[in-house]
Amino acid sequence: MRTWLLSMLTLIALTATPARADDAKLKEQIVGTWKLVSVEYEDQQTKARSPVLGAKPRGYQIATADGLWLALVTAEDRPVPKTDEDRAKALRTMISYSGRYRVEDGKVVTKVEVAWNEAWVGGDQIRFIRFEGNDLLHIESPPMPHPNVNNSVVRVIVSWARTK
């Protein structure tokens, strides 16, 4: 029994250590300035994906080595707002938030300090991160009600290219 317990504890220790090492590598990889490539919303009822901000949305994401996160995304071809209705539409065609972040369990968790959606302030935005090579980053949200699509439950899939 003692040998079995020692074996199990060793196995747990060995499997826990790589996760921390992977997180450290992910944090190192994520640091930098990234230019937006695409944004898709995946409807959780139908699994249909749509480029809700257009085929060529604009934006940047910045992750600093000391833990500051900033993301700004806008839809393609946004007109200059001239009326209150235009300004409301402009708000629905963007996503932006910033705060302190950490990388854990293959996810980036941002404690939101400021956002285009005031409901996010003070909360955590959790995103799964995945790299293709070192210069293409995919960030995916868990399914969540999204204010830009009448609180429909979607998974947001955002792709970024590292800037040089």
Q: What is the pLDDT of residues 53-72, one digit of tens each?
A: 999 999 999 999 999 999 99
Quick one: the chain helix, strand, coil %, rounded to 5? 25, 45, 30
Under the banding of pLDDT at 50, 70 and 90, the label for residue 149 is confident
Structure-token pair, residue 7: 């074996």
Q: Please say whether the beta carbons of 65 and 31 come within 8 A.
A: yes
The domain that holds 84 is classified in CATH as 2.40.128.490
Mean pLDDT score of the chain: 86
Tell me how far apart the alpha carbons of residues 110 and 122 are, in angstroms, rounded to a whole number.
10
Place of tokens 């003692």: 2
The pLDDT of residue 15 is 39
Longest CA span, the chain: 75
Average pLDDT over residues 31-54: 93
The pLDDT of residue 9 is 37
- Provide the domain limits for residue 56: 2-162
- Indicate the pTM of the whole model: 0.79
Tally the domains of the chain. Answer: 1
Answer whether residue 8 shows pLDDT above 90: no
Tell me how far apart the alpha carbons of residues 129 and 116 are, in angstroms, rounded to a whole number.
22
Place of tokens 């085929």: 55
The pLDDT of residue 18 is 40
Q: Please say whether the beta carbons of 115 and 137 come within 8 A.
A: no
Tell me how far apart the alpha carbons of residues 131 and 137 are, in angstroms, rounded to a whole number.
5
Under the banding of pLDDT at 50, 70 and 90, the label for residue 7 is very low
